[in-house]
């Protein structure tokens, strides 16, 4: 076993760099990034577009191995994808030819869960996110917010210990987004699961998180790492009035604005 750390259930990014070569040009996407996330923490990551956020998630998910450094979970180096680490992407990847129920139950189907049990578990999850009655619908018959709920529970249903989410609400309108933020928190609270959630929306980052990370423009580095000292359960609709929210927002915004301006010049 590759035991590089003893923190049970910790997600550890250890001195990780990632380079890409595209059309004879080398792009450094991540530079010497180090990060430790203990089990059960809800961490959000904000940063300008193109700074390496998705790259970091891809590395943690096991889709890619880092150019340098190590990524480990629970004391073992992550090698390839597994059910321990779930990944919710920005676009819903629901299969258009499958009903919502069959999309959400896909992972259970692949692991041989019998049809009756599968149906029960899927319908339970559909109800938890307000999609009861839509199990027989096809993705094109659902709104963007409904599809994204399906996309999220499709991963949550197999209960990964770490859940990576890449701008999952980025394409939704503001009201749908708030509703889904609230839904996500209510599902997550008390589960002890780790979430690493990427967003470019600072309000969302602070509202959801135990801890907010700010990433620099490319090559990405963690510039700021702060705890959000606001009690749970939180009222997502009113949290922007909270003094701690305002303090963090102003602090992060100064730096994020600078990084966004730097990133814009690199394009």
Footprint on this chain of Mg ion (rule: CB under 5 A): 54
Give the interface size with ligand ADP as a residue count (CB under 6 A). Answer: 13
Told to check if 27 binds ligand ADP by CB under 6 A, we report yes
CA distance 41 to 45: 13
Helices 174-188 and 144-156 pack at an angle, to 10 degrees, of 20
Smallest distance from the beta carbon of 54 to Mg ion, in angstroms? Answer: 3
Q: Which long-range contacts (CB under 8 A, 24 or more apart) does 231-234 make?
A: 232/185, 232/189, 233/185, 233/186, 233/189, 234/185, 234/207
Contacted by 20, from ligand ADP, Mg ion, none: CB < 5 to 8 Å by type: ligand ADP
Could you give the residue ranges of the DSSP H alpha helices within 100-143?
Answer: 100-104, 106-110, 115-128
HSE, CB side, 13 Å, CA atoms: give it for residue 209.
28
Q: Which stretch binds ligand ADP (CB under 6 A): 50-58, 106-114, 202-210, 246-254?
A: 50-58
CB 105 within 8 Å of CB 119: yes
Contacted by 52, from Mg ion, ligand ADP, none: CB < 5 to 8 Å by type: ligand ADP
Contacted by 27, from ligand ADP, Mg ion, none: CB < 5 to 8 Å by type: ligand ADP
Query: What separation in angstroms does the CA of 230 have from each of 13, 72, 113, 265?
Result: 26, 29, 40, 36
Told to check if 50 binds ligand ADP by CB under 6 A, we report yes
Told to check if 65 binds ligand ADP by CB under 6 A, we report no
**Residue (54 or 179) nearer to ligand ADP, CB:** 54
Helix, coil or strand: residue 124: helix
Q: Which stretch binds ligand ADP (CB under 6 A): 52-60, 133-141, 180-188, 245-253?
A: 52-60
Told to check if 205 binds ligand ADP by CB under 6 A, we report no
- Rule CB under 6 A: choose which of 1, 22, 231, 238 binds ligand ADP: 22
Told to check if 53 binds ligand ADP by CB under 6 A, we report yes
Say whether the peptide bond before residue 219 is cis (omega within 30 degrees of 0): yes
CA distance 143 to 226: 35
- Rule CB under 6 A: choose which of 51, 142, 163, 183 binds ligand ADP: 51
Give the binding site for ligand ADP (CB under 6 A).
Answer: 20, 22, 27, 29, 47, 49-55, 218
């Amino acid at each position: 076993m590759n035991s590089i750390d003893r923190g049970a259930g910790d997600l550890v990014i250890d001195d990780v760099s990632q380079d890409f070569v595209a059309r004879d040009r080398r792009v450094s996407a991540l530079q010497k990034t180090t990060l430790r996330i203990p089990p059960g923490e809800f961490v959000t990551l904000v940063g300008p577009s193109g700074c390496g956020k998705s790259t970091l998630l891809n590395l943690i998910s096991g889709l890619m191995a880092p150019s340098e450094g190590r990524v480990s979970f629970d004391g073992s180096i992550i090698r390839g994808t597994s059910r321990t680490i779930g990944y919710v992407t920005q676009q819903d990847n629901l299969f258009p030819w499958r009903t919502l129920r069959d999309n959400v139950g896909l992972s259970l189907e692949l692991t041989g869960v019998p049809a009756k049990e599968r149906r029960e578990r899927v319908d339970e999850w559909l109800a938890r996110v307000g999609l009861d009655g839509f199990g027989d619908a096809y993705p094109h018959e659902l709104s963007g917010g409904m599809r994204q709920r399906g996309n999220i529970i499709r991963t949550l249903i197999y209960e990964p210990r770490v859940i990576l989410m890449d701008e999952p609400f980025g394409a939704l309108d503001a009201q749908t987004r708030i509703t889904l933020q609230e839904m996500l928190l209510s599902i997550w609270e008390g589960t002890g699961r780790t979430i690493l959630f990427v967003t470019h929306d600072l309000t969302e980052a602070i509202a959801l998180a135990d801890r907010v990370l700010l990433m620099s423009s490319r090559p990405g580095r963690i510039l700021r790492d702060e705890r959000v000292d606001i009690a749970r359960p939180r009222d997502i609709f009113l949290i922007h009035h909270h003094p701690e929210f305002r303090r963090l927002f102003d602090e992060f915004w100064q730096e994020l604005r600078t990084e966004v301006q730097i990133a814009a010049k690199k394009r």
